[in-house]
Chains A and B, each alone.
Chain A
Amino acid sequence: MKIAIPVNAKSMESAICQSFGRAPYYLFYDGEEGTSEFKENSACASQGGAGIKAAQLIVDEKADVLLTPRCGENAAQVLRGAGVKMYKTMNDSIRENIQAFKEGKLSELRDIHPGHHRG
């Protein structure tokens, strides 16, 4: 089970990023091995569908679940299309959220906001 989380820095001690599409890094955490890997978000400052590009990265890394405070409609479409499940984080601690997810304490993400981009 591979878990993806938008984060502010390349560290397990850093905070979860409040924006999914504009996060500077994504953490990919392997639930079985307990290993973690950080990937840079090349689209964080880009125009247009940053959320779509970010979702593409999550899908390409073959993550099974995404833990995030929020997510845009367009990104959610990409993630759903690839069968990635989305869960809502409860605070900004990476470790606490991974733990909570493993214990089945996180709920599915419901508040998907409409993606609105003008260029």
Chain B
Amino acid sequence: MKIAVLSGKGGTGKTFVSVNLAAVAGDAMYVDCDVEEPNGHLFFKPGAVKTRQVAVEIPLVDSERCTGCRVCVDFCNYHALAWVGGGVKIFDEICHSCGGCIILCPEKALTGKEKVIGQVQRGKSEAVTVLSGMLNPGIPSGVPIIKELLKGTEEKERVFIDCPPGSACIVMETVAAADYCILVTEPTVFGVHNLNMVWELVTLLGKPCGVVINKFVETENPAEKYCAEKEIDVIGRIPFDAELGLLNSNALIAVREKAKYGRLFGDLLARITGEVWL
């Protein structure tokens, strides 16, 4: 089973929840798909790390063959190509590597050249296999790295995917691969606004989901009310707890430090496993 952990914005506790769930599950996999700011590995501090580069193809123009028909320039949806001073100019950092221009050029003047956009790291932390994707700065899309990460998720029974924040197309990629989605939110009005965005996304993709309320203080709160209205299950409530906050800000994994947090996340894991196998 693949569990995607999402939140409408960063800093809600998405990494905290996915890291602790994977750690409490033991023989599991943690996959950090937040490729612009991966930080799960800071908690797991995995050993025996292997790194693999991820490359995409971007077009390269052979000016001898190019006749200036501009088919490629007009085609590119991302406007990564321009016709300037009698030649095709390619903006590498805008190109999304769709490959369309290379196929369409009637003169075969465009060919693909490899460009490294980031890397995938794989290591071990106790029984947990830790996979992290890292996107180089200035690269327009991390989707190829996420695809590479998700390829590695078939081998484990329990996989926890730490998704990128927000609800952009890169998030769709990770949600589409999941069997169940955990939506992490804070109990505030602002939290609910972001929760609604991700809820719409997972519902659109037809995925079952449940909400985890982080920094929970009292039962009467906007997140609880929202979930009741939309008939979304609240599968976990993580109390506002200074000790928990401290462990987290010191990049320690709470369930490995204190038995009571092990029980908290163990219960959450049992609940999720129950939901998925229903």
Interface residues of B in 73-93 (CB under 8 A from A): 73, 76-85, 89, 91, 93
Cα–Cα distance between A118 and B78 once the two chains are bound (Å): 10
A117-B140 in contact (CB<8A): yes
Q: How far in angstroms is the closest Cβ of chain A from B135?
A: 10
Q: Which residue of B lies closest to A43 (CB)?
A: B79
Selecting from A23-31, A44-52, A86-94, the interface stretch reads A44-52
Q: Which residue of A lies closest to B96 (CB)?
A: A119
Show the binding face of A for B, using Cβ within 8 Å.
Answer: 43, 46-50, 52-53, 55-56, 59-60, 74, 77-78, 81-83, 115-119
B94-A52 in contact (CB<8A): yes
Cα–Cα distance between A16 and B218 once the two chains are bound (Å): 52
Residues of A within 8 A of B79 (CB): 43, 46, 48-50, 52-53, 56
Q: Mark B117-150, 1 if CB is under 8 A from A, else 0.
A: 0000000000000000000001011000000000
A59-B84 in contact (CB<8A): yes
The prevalent SS among residues of B at the interface is loop
Show the binding face of B for A, using Cβ within 8 Å.
Answer: 73, 76-85, 89, 91, 93-94, 96, 138, 140-141, 169
26 contacts between A and B (CB under 8 A): A43-B79, A47-B78, A48-B76, A48-B77, A48-B78, A48-B79, A48-B80, A49-B91, A50-B79, A52-B94, A56-B73, A56-B83, A59-B82, A59-B84, A74-B91, A78-B84, A78-B89, A81-B82, A82-B85, A83-B85, A115-B93, A117-B94, A118-B140, A119-B96, A119-B141, A119-B169
A55 CB contact (under 8 Å) in B77, B82, B85, B140 = B82
Q: How far in angstroms is the closest Cβ of chain A from B141?
A: 6
Cα–Cα distance between A43 and B85 once the two chains are bound (Å): 21
Residues of B within 8 A of A78 (CB): 82, 84, 89
Residues of A within 8 A of B169 (CB): 119
Q: Which residue of B lies closest to A51 (CB)?
A: B79
A47-B78, A56-B79 known, 11 other contacts, Cβ within 8 Å = A48-B76, A48-B79, A48-B80, A52-B91, A52-B94, A60-B83, A78-B82, A82-B85, A115-B94, A116-B138, A119-B169
Max chain A Cβ within 10 angstroms of own Cβ: one of B77, B81, B82, B91: B82
Q: How far in angstroms is the closest Cβ of chain B from A56?
A: 5
A119-B78 in contact (CB<8A): yes
Q: How far in angstroms is the closest Cβ of chain B from A80?
A: 9
A56-B80 in contact (CB<8A): no
Residues of A within 8 A of B84 (CB): 56, 59, 78, 81-82
Q: How far in angstroms is the closest Cβ of chain B from A42?
A: 10
Q: How far in angstroms is the closest Cβ of chain A from B85?
A: 5
Cα–Cα distance between A6 and B140 once the two chains are bound (Å): 26
Q: How far in angstroms is the closest Cβ of chain B from A27?
A: 21
Q: How far in angstroms is the closest Cβ of chain B from A105?
A: 29
Q: Which residue of A lies closest to B73 (CB)?
A: A56
Residues of B within 8 A of A115 (CB): 93-94
Say yes or no: A48-B85 contact (C-beta < 8 A), given A118-B140, A118-B141, A119-B169: no
Say yes or no: A47-B77 contact (C-beta < 8 A), given A56-B82, A59-B84, A81-B85: yes
Cα–Cα distance between A74 and B91 once the two chains are bound (Å): 8
Max chain B Cβ within 10 angstroms of own Cβ: one of A47, A83, A117: A117
Q: How far in angstroms is the closest Cβ of chain A from B82?
A: 5
A77-B89 in contact (CB<8A): yes
